[in-house]
Amino acid sequence: MALKNTIDTEAASARIAQWMESKVVEATSLRVTDLVVPASAGMSNETVLFNVEWVGADRSHSRGMVARVQPAGPGVFPSYDLSKEARVLTALGAHTDVPVPEIFSYDDAPAVFGSPFLVMARVDGRVPSDDPPFTAGGWVLDLTAEQRRLMWQNSIAAMSRIHSTDWRGIGLGFLDNGEQGAVAAQIAQWRDTFAWAAEGEANPTIERGLDWLADNGPADEGAKVLNWGDARVGNIIFGDDLSVAAVLDWEMVSVAPREVDLGWWLFLMRHHTEGIGLPLPDGVPTREETLALYESVSGHTPCHVGYYEVLAATKLSIIMVRAAHMMISMGLLPADSPMALSNPASQLLAQLLELPAPTGLTTTFMGNR
C-alpha cells in the first residue's frame, strides 16, 4: 500500500497531458483520461494509472500508461533513484526475454508530479494483492490448486531468467559496487538504513539480526547475478493463462548471490502465511518444493538459504520500523504504537534466530488506509 497519497489527480491530469504532448511526435488532440492513484500500490514510490489518446500523422492512438513517482518528501527508504530502475528496465526489455514493462520516458523534473517520475506502458493482467494479502482473499484464492501451482512455477522460472541475465553484457555493470563481498555490502547498507529509520530508538531483535548476519556470513557467496530485489508474487502481472506478463518494482535491484532473491521470496511467503496467521494456499509450493523447483529450472543448487532468509527478515523488519514511524507521524497509528518493535516480520526474525519474541501488540501496515 502507499502510506499516503500526495498526488492531486485533477491537476496531475492536466500536467501529464502537457508533458506527453512534448514527448509524442506529431501528436494532436492529445488528452489524458481516467487518471487514478491505486490505494494498494506499494509502500514507497507512488503509482499513477492513466490513459492517453491522441491523433498521429496517420491514425488515432490510445494507450494505457503507468507512472511511478518518487516520493517528494521523506519515504520508506533513505534515498531513491528511479533513473536506475529506468536503465535496468530499458536494458532488460531490449536485450533479454525477461518480461518487463516498456519504458516510455524518465524525467527528473518536478513540474508534473513534484518529483522525478518514470512512465511506462501499462501491461494487461492481474497482480496478487498485498493489502489485504492474497493469502486472505481475492482472485488468487479463487483459482484451483493446480492453477496456483502453475502461477508459482511460472514465477520461479521468471526469477531464474533474471538471474541468468548477462548483466555486464547488457550495460548494467554500474550496479556492481566493485567489492567481492556483495552480502557484506548489503549488511552495511541495511545497518545504515536501520540507524536512519530507528531515529535513535533501540530495537533488540533487529540489532541482534544485523550482528548475527555479520558473524555468520557464508565463506563462499557464489557468483554475483542480477537480483530483482523485491522478489515476490505481488510484484508480478499475470496473464489470463497465468503466464508472467511483467515483472515489476525494481527499486531494490542489485547484483548479489541469487539466494538473496530466493531468501526474500521465501520469507515474504512466510510473512503472508505464518506471519499473519494464515495457511499456505493449496497448490502453492512449500519452501522445499520452491527450492527444488528453482534448481530444476536454473540448474543451480541453492546454498545457505537459511542465512538469506534471516537477511530478508532483517531487511523487512527495518522497513517496518520506518513504516511505523511514518504512520505515527501521519496519524494512522497512535503515538505509543509498538509496531516498530512488534510486527509479523520482527516476530518471524526472532523465531528464526531463537530470540525472545518482541513484546507488544503485533501490528502491520496491511489494512491501514
Q: What is the pLDDT of residue 3?
A: 53
**Threshold 0.85, pTM exceeds:** yes
Both 117 and 144 in one domain: the answer is no
- For residue 130, what are the β-bridge partners? 133
Give 31's strand partners. Answer: 53
User: Does residue 175 belong to any structural domain of this protein?
Assistant: yes
211 and 86 belong to one structural domain: no
At 43 the pLDDT is 58
Query: Is residue 366 in a domain?
Result: no
For residue 169, the tally of other CB atoms under 10 A from its CB is 11
**Cα dihedral 290, 292, 297, 302 sign:** positive
Query: What's the domain count of the chain?
Result: 2
Looking at the fold, whether 155 and 103 belong to one and the same domain comes out as no
Which ranges constitute the DSSP H helices of 119-257? 139-142, 145-163, 182-198, 204-215
CATH code of the domain containing 56: 3.30.200.20
Which residues on neighbouring strands pair with residue 53, listed in sequence order?
31, 62
Report the CATH number that the domain containing residue 285 is assigned in CATH.
Answer: 3.90.1200.10
Q: For the CA atoms of the chain, what is the radius of gyration?
A: 21
- Residue 217, classified by CB atoms within 10 Å of its CB into exposed (0-12), middle (13-18) or buried (19+), is middle
- Please tell me whether residues 162 and 242 are part of one structural domain: yes
| 79 vs 365: CA distance, rounded Å | 21
Give the pLDDT confidence score for residue 75 in this predicted structure: 87
Helices (H), 166-219: 182-198, 204-215
CB 230 within 8 A of CB 268: no
Which three three-digit cell numbers place residue 287? 519452501
Among 76, 93, 121, identify where a domain stops.
121
**Domain encompassing residue 37:** 9-121
| DSSP 8-state secondary structure symbol assigned to residue 366 | T
Which residue has cell 556483495?
182
pLDDT in tens, 203-212: 999 999 999 9
Residues of the chain with pLDDT under 50: 1-2, 41, 367-369
Same domain? 85 vs 178: no
- Judgement on whether residues 89 and 213 belong to the same structural domain of the protein: no
Q: Which of 64, 93, 121 is the last residue of a domain?
A: 121
- Backbone angles phi and psi of 189, in degrees to 5: -60, -45
Backbone conformation region of residue 73, classed left if phi is above 0, alpha if psi is from -120 to 50, else beta: beta
Residues 98 and 155 in one domain: no
Question: What is residue 355's DSSP assignment?
Answer: P
Regarding whether 169 and 49 lie in a shared domain, the answer is no
Evaluate whether 123 touches 243 at the Cβ level (below 8 Å). no
